[in-house]
Chain A
Amino acid sequence: MLFVQDVTKKYGKLLANDAVSFEVNPGEISILLGPNGAGKSTLIKCIAGLLKFTGKIFVNGNDNKSLQAKRELGYIPEIPALYEMLTVWEHLEFIARAYSLQNWEERARALLKRFELDDKAKKLGSELSKGMQQKVSICCALLPSPKVVLFDEPMVGLDPHAIKELKKCIIEMRQEGAAILISTHMLDSVDEFWDSANIMINGRIAARRRRRDTLGSGEDLEALFFAITEGSKIKSYNDTCGNENLHPEEKLG
C-alpha cells in the first residue's frame, strides 16, 4: 500500500507539490493525470525517495526513505538511463544482488522474453535504443516483484508490442495485489485499466475519482480532465454536470 499525506515540495520559491494527499491500496491501479508542469514527476520522485519534501510517504507502512520501503518499491523513471558498460543481463544481475534476490534467473529470462529482449541479453547498455533501454528499465524494476510500483510516463518510446505487454504486466501485478501508481498525461494509454484517478494541476490534486463511481454517475474522466486543466471551461462544465461531483478543493474558478 502507498500512503501519501500532505506532501509539499518547493524548489526555491516554486511550489511544485502543494499538500498532496492520497493513497493507493493493494490491488489498485491509480493514475496521476495532469498537463506538463502539473507536478506529477516531482511527486513520483518524492515517493521514490529521490527528493526532499515535507509531509509523509509510507510504502507498506515503512517510511519511503527506509531500506525496507525501497525493497518493496519498483520505480520506472521517465527517462531510462542504463549503465553503458553493463549488458542487459548484467543489469538484471545487479538488481538481483542489490535486492538480495534468490533464484531470480528464471523470472529474469521470462521478463526479457516478454519484452522481446531475450536476444539482447548480451548487449551493452550503450548499444541499445531509447525504447530498448526503457524496456530494460521496466524489467529491472519488475524483477524484485515489488509490492508498490511507480511508473513515470511508462508508455513513451515503447513499441506497440511492448505497450501491450506492459499493460498486461500492470494488470497481472494488480491481480497479485500490488499497489500501482502511473503518472501520465496520455489518458488513452491508461483508460482501460485504471481504478482511481488523481488529476493534478499547479502542484495540487484538483480532483479524485474512482472508476466505479464514474461508471455509476456516467461522468467522463476526459471531460473532467479538460474542465480542470483548461480553466475557461470549468464554469460551463460545472453548469453542465453540477458542482456536487467536485471536491471543495476542486472548485478552481
Chain B
Amino acid sequence: MRALAYLIVTQIKNKILYLKKKPALMVLYGIVALMLIASIAVVILLGSDSSKTSSADERILYLIIAGVGLLFVYNFSVSGLSTGSSLFTMPDVGLLFVAPISPKKILMYGLLSTFGKALLGSIFIFYQIGNLKSSFGYGFKEIFMLFIIFAIMLLLCQLLSIGIYIFSNGNNTRKTFVRTIIYSLLGILVLTYLFVQKEQIGFFETLLRIVASDGFGYFPVAGWAVMLFMGVVHNSTVKIIAALAMFFIMGTAIIILLTSDRADYYEDVLLSTEVTYQIKSAAKEGRQPTYANTKKIKLKDEAVGIGKGSKAGAIFYKHLLEHRRKSRLLFIDSYTLFMMIAAGIAGFNFKVKEAPDAAYYAVFAIAVYFQYFMTSMGKLRQEL
C-alpha cells in the first residue's frame, strides 16, 4: 500500500478501534448511527412523494441554503485575508510535506480528507429527514443532495480561503481589491433587497423572493448551491449542470493556482495550519489560544503601559488596555456590532398584532443568547 493510502486507511481503522477504549462513546455513536439508518430507511420505504402533500414554502429551504452559503463565503473570505485556510494538519507539515511525495498527490490527500470531514460534518442534515419529508414532501434524492451540497460548499469555501490568501498575502493593494469584491457582492445583495422591498411585501417575503430568483443562482457559492438544489427538486438538468459547472470552474481555478509554480502551497497553508494547531492545543489544555487573534495592532508610543492600578486593580486596567487596543470603540467590538444589528433586524420584523411587546422580548432574548457566547468565550473565562 502506498504511503498516503496507508495513512488514510490506518487512521480510519485506528479511529474505529479507539472506540473500544471509550465504550460510552461507542454506545453513543451506535445510537446515532441507528437513528440515522432508521431515518433513511423510513424515507426509502415510504418512497418519494412527488405530489408533495405539504404546503410548506420550498423557498424557506432555499433561504436556509443561501444563508449558510453566504455565512461560509463571508467567513472563509475574511479568514483568507488574514491566515488563509488549511486542508492540512501539523503532522502533515512535519512528516508529509518534507517527505519525497509529489505535492500534487499531497494536495489530493488534503482535498480528500477535508471533503471526508465536510461529509461527516454534514450528516446532521439526515436528522432533518422527517421534517424535510413532512414539510416539503422530499424523498431520499433531495435530502441526499442537500447533504452533498453542504459538503461541497464547505470544501469550496476552504479552497476559496486558500485562494484568497495566495492571491493577497503580503500585498495590501490586492487585499483591498478582495475586500472591495466581498463588500461589493454584499452591497449588491443589500441593493437588491431595497429594490424588492419597494413592493411592500415585508422583510421575510423579500428575502424569499430574492433567493428564489434566477439571478441569485449566479451569486458565488451560495447562489450556485441554491441553483443546484432547485435543479434537483424540479428536475432541471440545465440548472444542475450550470451550478455544477460553476462549482467545478471555481474549484479547478483555485487548485491550478495552488499547484502553480508561483503559489507553492506549502507556505500558503502553513500559517493557517499552525494557528489551527495552536488553537486546538490550547483548547485541549484548557487555556486561551494566544495565536487566535491575528489582527495587527499598531501601537502609539504614548499609549504604551498599563499606567494605573495595583493588585486586583492591575487586572482591570490590563483588560482596559487590551480592549482599547482591540477596538477603537473600547468595549464595542465586531461581535457587539453584529449583535446590535441582528437584534435590531429582529426587533424591526417581529411585529405581532396580538403581542405588540414581542419585539422587545425577542431583542432581549437574542441579546442574552449572544451575550452567553461572548461571556463563555471571552476574557471572563480566562481570568476564572
A→B interface (CB under 8 Å): 10-12, 45, 48-52, 65, 67-68, 70-71, 73, 75, 77, 79-87, 90-91, 93-95, 97-100, 124-125, 137, 140
Within 8 Å CB of B93, what residues of A? 50, 77, 81
Within 8 Å CB of B264, what residues of A? 52, 65
Sample of 16 A–B contacts (CB below 8 Å): A10-B170, A12-B169, A12-B170, A50-B270, A52-B267, A73-B98, A77-B93, A80-B94, A81-B94, A86-B11, A90-B10, A94-B3, A97-B2, A97-B6, A98-B99, A124-B18
Within 8 Å CB of A94, what residues of B? 3, 6-7, 10, 95
Q: Does B218 belong to the interface (CB within 8 Å)?
A: no
Contact assessment for A49 and B3 in the assembled complex, using a CB-CB cutoff below 8 Å: no
- B3, B10, B93, B94, most chain A CB atoms within 10 A: B94
Q: Report the minimum CB–CB distance from B42 to chain A (whole Å).
A: 33
Within 8 Å CB of B89, what residues of A? 81, 83
Q: Can you name 17 extra interface pairs (CB under 8 A) apart from A67-B100, A81-B94?
A: A50-B98, A50-B266, A51-B266, A70-B98, A75-B94, A75-B98, A79-B90, A81-B89, A81-B90, A83-B91, A85-B10, A85-B14, A90-B10, A95-B99, A97-B2, A98-B3, A99-B100
Within 8 Å CB of A98, what residues of B? 3, 95-96, 99-101
Within 8 Å CB of A85, what residues of B? 10-11, 14-15, 18
Q: Report the minimum CB–CB distance from A127 to chain B (whole Å).
A: 10
CB nearest neighbor in B for A68:
B100
Q: Report the minimum CB–CB distance from A152 to chain B (whole Å).
A: 10
Within 8 Å CB of B193, what residues of A? none
| B256-280 at interface with A (beta carbon < 8 Å) | 264, 266-267, 270, 277
Hey, what's the 0/1 contact readout for B81-125 against A, CB within 8 Å counting as 1?
000000001110111111111100000000000000000000000
Q: Does B1 belong to the interface (CB within 8 Å)?
A: yes
Q: Report the minimum CB–CB distance from A9 to chain B (whole Å).
A: 10
Within 8 Å CB of B101, what residues of A? 67, 98
Contact assessment for B91 and A125 in the assembled complex, using a CB-CB cutoff below 8 Å: yes
Contact assessment for A83 and B11 in the assembled complex, using a CB-CB cutoff below 8 Å: yes
Tell me the bound Cα distance from A91 to B10 in angstroms: 10
Contact A87 to B94, CB < 8 A, known contacts A68-B100, A97-B2: no
Tell me the bound Cα distance from A41 to B133 in angstroms: 56
Tell me the bound Cα distance from A75 to B97 in angstroms: 10
Within 8 Å CB of B15, what residues of A? 85
Within 8 Å CB of A80, what residues of B? 94
Contact assessment for B277 and A81 in the assembled complex, using a CB-CB cutoff below 8 Å: yes
Within 8 Å CB of B277, what residues of A? 81
Tell me the bound Cα distance from A10 to B267 in angstroms: 12
Contact assessment for A97 and B3 in the assembled complex, using a CB-CB cutoff below 8 Å: yes
- A68, A73, A97, A124, most chain B CB atoms within 10 A: A97
Tell me the bound Cα distance from A84 to B91 in angstroms: 9
Contact assessment for A49 and B94 in the assembled complex, using a CB-CB cutoff below 8 Å: no
Q: Report the minimum CB–CB distance from A17 to chain B (whole Å).
A: 13
Contact assessment for A81 and B91 in the assembled complex, using a CB-CB cutoff below 8 Å: yes
CB nearest neighbor in A for B2:
A97
Contact assessment for A99 and B10 in the assembled complex, using a CB-CB cutoff below 8 Å: no
Within 8 Å CB of A73, what residues of B? 98
Tell me the bound Cα distance from A80 to B10 in angstroms: 20
CB nearest neighbor in A for B263:
A52
| B1-59 at interface with A (beta carbon < 8 Å) | 1-3, 6-7, 10-11, 14-15, 18
Q: Report the minimum CB–CB distance from A39 to chain B (whole Å).
A: 15
Contact assessment for B10 and A86 in the assembled complex, using a CB-CB cutoff below 8 Å: yes
Contact A50 to B99, CB < 8 A, known contacts A86-B14, A98-B3: no
Within 8 Å CB of A10, what residues of B? 170
Please give me the 4 A-B residue pairs with the lowest Cβ-Cβ distance, nearest first. A81-B90, A98-B3, A97-B3, A98-B99
Contact assessment for A93 and B6 in the assembled complex, using a CB-CB cutoff below 8 Å: yes
Contact A124 to B98, CB < 8 A, known contacts A97-B2, A97-B6: no
- B93, B95, B170, most chain A CB atoms within 10 A: B95
Tell me the bound Cα distance from A187 to B104 in angstroms: 40
Q: Report the minimum CB–CB distance from A14 to chain B (whole Å).
A: 9
Tell me the bound Cα distance from A65 to B18 in angstroms: 37
CB nearest neighbor in B for A67:
B100
Contact assessment for A97 and B267 in the assembled complex, using a CB-CB cutoff below 8 Å: no
Q: Report the minimum CB–CB distance from B283 to chain A (whole Å).
A: 14
Q: Report the minimum CB–CB distance from A51 to chain B (whole Å).
A: 5
Tell me the bound Cα distance from A52 to B270 in angstroms: 11
Within 8 Å CB of A93, what residues of B? 6
